Structure 1
């Protein structure tokens, strides 16, 4: 059934993670009909690796002992899927193997510093063999087993695509890894993981996936490889190599407890990062139906599940559902309803979103860490349409696509970055820079930021405040009734350069943290005003730079106070101006994204209001949307394609104004 470009069309994937002991419960034709009825158009299913789901002839390839005799179950499934118009993506997992393989070929396996192998599930109850982690730099995951398995299965079955589960590099001290490390970096492999070259893990994975991809293409040139990337791995270029279609796995892991609940923006940012490198098709977002692998036989709370899923298409991605079993074996039937309804909605908007381009006047330079995450949290929560720029993609031409570029604290800076940012500002860009930068010539940094070269980093401050300076201050909008907002953390003590304007200053701590309330009669401020800047604004060429000598992102990430979100909102308004492109009624938990496809604007609203995990959807009412008419000069209709139907609209001045009556979970409006 394979064709060269099938994977470039809109995809809705379901992956039934079948338990081997339930193998005899698979009815291929029934399963194909069920998945088709759930609006899937692609299926991911096990083929090889830990278990072979066919009668493999490759030595040491463990055949699923529960396969029915005298039947080609895998072949029957692929035929049934194709009959229903479903593509078949073969899932392989070469990250582990049975202990009997270890006994035969011990050189294939991960070793710790003491030479011991890594054993998985040693305490698992039941009559199971042990699993051992395989090393990415040895024969099992390369020429001796993985390569012949791929050649065998691709030659034997009509496979449409390939996906490698758990393809990453496990820290290993085996001889193969030590030899490779020495050859790559010219020095012995360290004993401590923290001392490794940061590129080691990504480069090993890249070399492995490129080999496997070359093998696949040598057998079937038309078969794409679906490859992982990770939101918190900066080397996205290595993840992209050897891969035709990017996928990421923003799990909604609730089983770690409420104190460790995943950030609400995890699917949103994961897809944004993937779109920054996607070339021929939108990235796939893999969402597991369970609240954690330890609870994989039950489902996520339906409201939280629907909210999590909605972020994938709303941020320009494609959905990939990971389920525990097939519909007949799934124990929590709520899952099936949520998946079916979500896929129905995705199918409704698929043609509209296919090839749509993000509309964003703001870009965030991405490097994983709390400083970047705080900005992302604030931008999403204040409905700012923004894109992510990975570190390796931040050249001048990319920066010039955006009216505003945000440089988070600790972002690495060298001569090239400073030159690029200065050119961006000189040519009319607006740069927001936060806190301490990592590196760079002091004089060049100071010139860019509009401060004097000599700076001092404070101790970590508590019981301190930010004071707005002057009347009509654009950073104080919406906070006119308060002269102070909370501050905590380090400050870059600096002085403004000539021509710079100070918009906010520091009020230093009135007490050490341990005595702030003992007694309250001593709570008066010893110093109510300083000239220590917390916001410095200056013009440079045709553009401007706003420097925040503290970490707003850290405050947002740690405290999530309304004042900090409002300050971020004001910063964006002040710098972006009309290039903000989108104004939405500000509601914490509401997400908004804007796209253009041909002569239509597409606006997604995702409702995540309420305390997570969401027990129920809390409907939002009368959400006002304002979009500049410069994006679409003569709007003729506005339609809510998922929840509201045709909507009335008005124009005022240079804006299109729409009020959305209600959003339960997810709405996409089409402005024609």
Structure 2
């Protein structure tokens, strides 16, 4: 399909949205708003439509018009945007209803376990399966907007399910679909509770299917847009029941908010949220909805402080992170009609600069695919069960982010792959697959992984991977014990506060640890058995540091009385390696990946990186560079054969937020490239670079990387890897 044949919403997006407050309706200037969109180089405008309040003269019964409204701003905006070639979307929000709607239809709304109404933002809460959000009320508004204004699409804000809710309608529907009664307690041990959690996803999916059908009845070019969790956000996933893999095919634009730059970052899986979270979110969106434009919904203001701007250095890195991973932009602000009205106008020029870069170099950023040869598997089910945005309670997010840190620090390009897409074709793209605490795997997934390794693939797995069945019940042994070469002994130690690891054998798995015999090893670890010669790193149980005179070995007690000390060496595995078929596996029975994020000692990340290299057969890396660890490397291939190397520079981040970027000069890049590229050109520096090609690798030097730079190589040709 040619570029001209594609729908507008399948092309790179530069969305501008100003969420109107009630006070903004008086004196609203549509022309000034459109001028602001043009100043930022946007190609889409989103404006309030209706739902909670009508920002147009609605005739739907019960649809409260916002006070002070005169005229018809949707009509004026439609005329102005059509003239300037800007797409116009209307925002609708049906998260809750007003008192009069509740009194007219009490069965449409949700209640707690004591029969009291549930509220959200002061409104009566309704689930996505309620008539209030569908044909009873919501769809009437959507139909009215599309009929009256012919907008280019509808953004459904907050399509979430919400907490465990009761009421005649939801109880009847749950009983009808599952044959069960709604659970009274939130316990994972209760089959009805587990069924309810999955049923929520089904309800949201049904609602979204109906919503899409309604919108598409007005034309295939009309876009249905909603927002979902950006992957590693346990709190939002838990509250919303939005599964992007299910919903991605239904949404024409797949978007995820990533507002948590500074203040809003507290409470996330890393404190503060990793400055590279936008990279992670873009990877996740591309994994959840292949072929759809991954659009990062951000704000020049923080989500918890909507009147003051975020630090522009971090904002620029946020925007660069989306571009480098194949994403587009959605600038969302909540405090006025357009930029010149904002009390704090910092960051607008930075946003305009990156929007303009995407506009000017769209041919570079459009229709690209990742060239990563390492896959990090993400599981929605495991995150729901074990994940938490509280790092002290989290049992999943930090496992994934620890692996990400190890890869980013060592300039290893990687993809996030959803566990529901574990199949032979997907895995065959990668040299190594990493399973960070993938506690729940189906027999089919285990069989696919087993055959992948047997046929030459590399596997790195951690902690409780394959230790639980589909009903979240712990097994007696790992489902992949044969691949790991390890067996679970049914005993878990921890949390270790003063634990260590003993380097029992010097191999490529311990490279970089030449000057030490031991490493820190905290957290939890399952005791496992393994074949002799397969355990290069073993566990030293805790050595209590007080009193210091006796802090030289693990204490041995009998009936509470100390009887001596164990030697530091043991046979309990911290790392297990195995040649399985023609492939290799590395298994960490402890929380090495989580500790790389939560503890931060570089030894954890070093062991993980070494394990990934070993599992890949100790072959030359896809990318090698002398850049500092804080310079991230992403490698993308355009469909026309060009290779794009993206460099994001986080140097200067001695604290959060980053307020000043330290430029990095003369960065050498050496990458796997069987065919010599015809050219190499700096994307932003706009100059040619000298490229040397030998032994199937291309080498070049980037003179300077400020916050972001990219090098376009090519065309390379079909033989490129």
Same fold? TM cut 0.5: yes
2:291 counterpart SS class: coil
5 Å-filtered alignment, 1:232-243, equals 232=233, 233=237, 235-243=243-251
In structure 2, relative to structure 1, the CA distance for the partners of 1:105 and 1:414 (3 Å cut) is closer
What is the CA deviation profile of residues 4-49 of structure 1, one whole-angstrom value per residue up to 9, with x for unaligned ones?
A: 7111111111111122212233322232122112110111111111
Residues of 2 paired with 1:221 and 1:435: CA distance? Answer: 47
Once the 2 structures are TM-superposed, how far is the Cα of residue 406 of structure 1 from its aligned partner?
A: 0.8
Question: Is the CA contact (8 Å cut-off) linking 1:254 and 1:292 kept in structure 2?
Answer: no
Alignment match, 2:537 = 504
The yes-or-no answer on 1:323 pairing with 2:337 is: no
- 1:583 corresponds, among 582, 599, 624, to 624
Residues of 1 paired with 2:708 and 2:646: CA distance? Answer: 7
Residues of 1 paired with 2:374 and 2:249: CA distance? Answer: 28
Which runs of 5 or more structure 1 residues have no equivalent in the other structure?
A: 122-129
Question: Is the CA contact (8 Å cut-off) linking 2:376 and 2:435 kept in structure 1?
Answer: yes
Residues of 2 paired with 1:97 and 1:645: CA distance? Answer: 57
Question: Is the CA contact (8 Å cut-off) linking 1:452 and 1:497 kept in structure 2?
Answer: no
Question: Is the CA contact (8 Å cut-off) linking 2:676 and 2:693 kept in structure 1?
Answer: no
Alignment match, 2:719 = none
Alignment match, 1:152 = 144
Residues of 2 paired with 1:644 and 1:568: CA distance? Answer: 37
Alignment match, 1:479 = 513
Alignment match, 1:25 = 27
Q: CA RMSD in A?
A: 2.3
1:659 counterpart SS class: strand
TM-score normalized with structure 2 length: 0.86
The yes-or-no answer on 1:178 pairing with 2:171 is: yes
Moved over 4 A (4+): 256-260, 452-455
Once the 2 structures are TM-superposed, how far is the Cα of residue 165 of structure 1 from its aligned partner?
A: 0.4
5 Å-filtered alignment, 1:129-144, equals 131-144=123-136
2:612 counterpart SS class: helix
5 Å-filtered alignment, 1:521-532, equals 521-525=549-553, 526=565, 527-532=567-572
Alignment match, 1:451 = 486
5 Å-filtered alignment, 1:300-379, equals 300-324=310-334, 325=336, 326-367=338-379, 368=383, 369-370=396-397, 371-379=399-407
Residues of 2 paired with 1:373 and 1:133: CA distance? Answer: 34
Question: Is the CA contact (8 Å cut-off) linking 1:639 and 1:669 kept in structure 2?
Answer: yes
Alignment match, 1:104 = 104
The yes-or-no answer on 1:616 pairing with 2:660 is: yes
- 1:468 corresponds, among 503, 521, 526, to 503
Question: Is the CA contact (8 Å cut-off) linking 2:578 and 2:586 kept in structure 1?
Answer: yes
Alignment match, 2:710 = 668
What is the CA deviation profile of residues 469-508 of structure 1, one whole-angstrom value per residue up to 9, with x for unaligned ones?
A: 334x11222221122211012223223236x522212222
Q: Which moved more, 1:176-185 or 1:106-115?
A: 106-115
Once the 2 structures are TM-superposed, how far is the Cα of residue 455 of structure 1 from its aligned partner?
A: 5.5
Residues of 1 paired with 2:518 and 2:315: CA distance? Answer: 39
Which runs of 5 or more structure 2 residues have no equivalent in the other structure?
A: 384-395, 469-474, 554-564, 715-721
1:625 counterpart SS class: strand
- 1:66 corresponds, among 62, 65, 68, to 68
TM-score normalized with structure 1 length: 0.92
Alignment match, 1:46 = 48
1:564 counterpart SS class: helix
5 Å-filtered alignment, 1:41-440, equals 41-68=43-70, 71-120=71-120, 131-171=123-163, 172-194=165-187, 196=193, 197=195, 198-230=197-229, 231=231, 232=233, 233=237, 235-256=243-264, 260-293=271-304, 295-324=305-334, 325=336, 326-367=338-379, 368=383, 369-370=396-397, 371-437=399-465, 438-439=467-468
What is the CA deviation profile of residues 417-467 of structure 1, one whole-angstrom value per residue up to 9, with x for unaligned ones?
A: 322111111111111121223236738633211135755433432322222
In structure 2, relative to structure 1, the CA distance for the partners of 1:120 and 1:397 (3 Å cut) is closer
Q: Which moved more, 1:259-268 or 1:269-278?
A: 259-268
2:603 counterpart SS class: helix
5 Å-filtered alignment, 1:488-637, equals 488-497=522-531, 501-511=534-544, 516=545, 518-525=546-553, 526=565, 527-576=567-616, 577-578=618-619, 580-585=621-626, 587-597=628-638, 598-609=640-651, 610=653, 611-630=655-674, 633-637=675-679
Question: Is the CA contact (8 Å cut-off) linking 1:245 and 1:278 kept in structure 2?
Answer: no
Once the 2 structures are TM-superposed, how far is the Cα of residue 652 of structure 1 from its aligned partner?
A: 4.7
Residues of 1 paired with 2:171 and 2:504: CA distance? Answer: 58
Residues of 2 paired with 1:475 and 1:180: CA distance? Answer: 54
